[in-house]
Amino acid sequence: MKVLLVEDALPLATVYGHQLSRAGLESVHVETGADALARLRKGGISVVLLDLQLPDMGGMDVLASIREEQLPVTVVVVTSSGSIKTAVDAMQAGAYDFIVKPVAEERLVTTTRNALERETLTEVVEEVRKPASGKVQHGFIGSSLPMTAVYKMIESVARSNAAVFITGESGTGKEVCAEAIHRSSQRTKKPFVPLNCAAIPKDLIESEIFGHIKGAFTGATSDRDGAAARADGGTLFLDEICELELGLQAKLLRFLQSGTIQKVGSDTLKKVDVRIVCATNRNPLEEVEAGRFREDLFYRLHVLPIGLPPLRSRGTDVLELAKHFLMQFAGEEGKSFEGFSVEAEEILLSHSWPGNVREMQNTIRNLVVLNEGPYVEADMLATLHGRAPVPKTQAAPHPLQAPLSVNTDAGRTVESNGSWPAITLTLGQPFEMLERQIIEATIDACGGSLPKTARALQVSPSTLYRKKEIWAEQDEPSGEDIQIAAEGA
């Protein structure tokens, strides 16, 4: 894998090239943005070290072209402007990392190697649109596109020993993700040691990570190994990493650089082989900007990032999770629940789930304990935040019998006669096109309600949600379409 140096200052480019060569990394050099794009289009480049100040165009313009053309490279920006705003702007434009001139050799080599490690995720991008092989993956439940991407990333990063940085809201399953990475790696037979940095008193966290010797502090009655020693050969998971104090962050950085630990109260160093996986529910770059998280530690840890989507972004995974927890808790409580009513499914899908999967677990356990089956009805979900109990009423008329008021759509013949409207279909089209027209017409007639549409068509609501996801994906313009449209504008 080659590194492309985009630098108009020949002396600097020569120095960078020699430093990379000494580290065993092959590089090629160009001086302009146009030459950089031309070289990238030929292929064979994995990482770009991109200067922002070029003689023919700005580095941000080069970034924009790389992103628009979807060129398969990882970009590290090299800039003389060291502001966090510059870093954020570059990362939003598609850069993976940035370094500030003058660049120390160790920083240049480390950052470049991190970027090359990240390129092991290239096949994730290529496979992310493929359907998941099953509904349960790596301890997670769900087959939505966002989760399919997570499954592919877990499988890819598991092959590496580089640090993994997991981000996501509370309750999205960050520890499940970390343990999945460990189980899928070559370290699976060694320990997986989780440590929640927010749950341990600040004066004990150093001892919890590195251990202590007898008499090191009041209450230290014997020698004790820390999490890093217990995870030797395996994986150390540091949850809520941004909760660490700055002083301990410096010691953690030294541990990552040297691979050695020093127990509290001891002068002896011990070598350990540990892979670090960390997680936070905060924005780590904002923590760096605010001075609460060391920038150098961030770059050591943020090698292979994984972002877990919130439950509200996972579509019909909500129903899959709800059914899973319903069957699990019904079995534990000896209840006879079998599923959810259409109205209950609609409530589940419309809720924003601020507590994510953890909130889902608590909600389903609550209704199972307090109610009897066989089906979960809408009034049983009154515990959802901000939702009043739903009174039981007489069953609504079946959609096929309910009078409808429908607007006229182009290409459809609509008859507002108190029954279903008529639509005109053109034969000779693929079945998928006819099916889509029928489903979309029925959705319109049902006022946009997918559960009502599912009842009318006698299919599962999850089937309709999944079809809409596929159609939305198919309707998105490709990079080539966008380029053609731009050229024609």
CA distance linking residue 276 with residue 258, whole number of Å: 13
324: CB partners within 8 A, 6+ apart: 141
Assign 5 a pLDDT band (cuts: 50, 70, 90). very high
Taking every pair of Cα atoms in the chain, the longest distance, rounded to a whole number of angstroms, is 88
pLDDT higher at 175 or 124: 175
DSSP string, 195-248: EETTSS-TTTHHHHHHEE-TTSSTT--S-EE-HHHHTTTSEEEEETGGGS-HHH
Give pLDDT tens digits for 471-483. Answer: 877 776 655 554 5
pLDDT recorded at residue 83? 61
Q: Domain 2-123, CATH 3.40.50.2300 — does that match?
A: yes
The more confident residue out of 119 and 90 is 90
Q: Which CATH number fits domain 399-489: 1.10.357.10, 1.10.1670.10, 1.10.10.60, 3.40.1440.10?
A: 1.10.10.60
* Architecture of the CATH domain 312-381: Orthogonal Bundle (1.10)
> What is the rounded average pLDDT of the residues 341-365?
91
pLDDT at position 187? 95
Is pLDDT at 60 greater than 50 in this prediction? yes
pLDDT single digits (tens) 314-336: 988 999 999 999 999 999 999 99
Q: Is 245 within 8 Å of 209 (Cβ atoms)?
A: no
Q: Which of 210, 215, 203 is nearest to 225 (CA)?
A: 210
What pLDDT is attached to residue 481? Answer: 53
Give the pLDDT confidence score for residue 258 in this predicted structure. 92
Domain boundaries in the chain? 2-123, 130-309, 312-381, 399-489
Give CB contacts under 8 A, 24+ apart, made by 402-407.
404/445, 406/444, 406/445, 407/444
Q: Which of 69-73, 94-98, 131-135, 265-269 has the lowest mean pLDDT?
A: 131-135
Check pLDDT > 60 for residue 486. Answer: no
pLDDT given for residue 308 in this prediction = 96
pLDDT value of residue 266? 92
CA nearest neighbour of 194 among 227, 165, 168, 224: 227
| CATH node for 130-309 | 3.40.50.300
CA distance 418 to 432: 29
Residue 292 has pLDDT above 50, yes or no: yes
Q: Which of 322-331, 348-357, 454-463 has the lowest mean pLDDT?
A: 454-463
pLDDT of residue 449: 79
What does 245-268 look like in DSSP terms, one character per residue? -HHHHHHHHHHHHH-EEE-BT---
Q: Which two tokens stand for residue 411?
A: 């290409």
- Write out the two tokens for 69: 């053309």
Q: Do domains 130-309 and 399-489 have the same CATH topology?
A: no
Residue 140 host element (H or E): strand 140-141
d(CA 424, CA 410): 11
Average pLDDT on 96-121 reads 82
* Mean pLDDT, range 151-167, rounded to an integer: 94
What is the mean pLDDT of the segment spanning 382-405? 44
- Across 93-103, average pLDDT: 84
HEC secondary structure over 409-458: CCCCCCCCCCCCCCCCCCCCCCHHHHHHHHHHHHHHHCCCCHHHHHHHHC
Question: pLDDT value at position 417?
Answer: 42
**Confidence at 82, pLDDT banded by 50, 70, 90:** low
In whole angstroms, what separates CA 357 from the centre of its chain? 15
Return mean pLDDT, the chain.
Answer: 83
**Banded pLDDT at 203 (limits 50, 70, 90):** confident
Tokens 């840890």 correspond to: 301
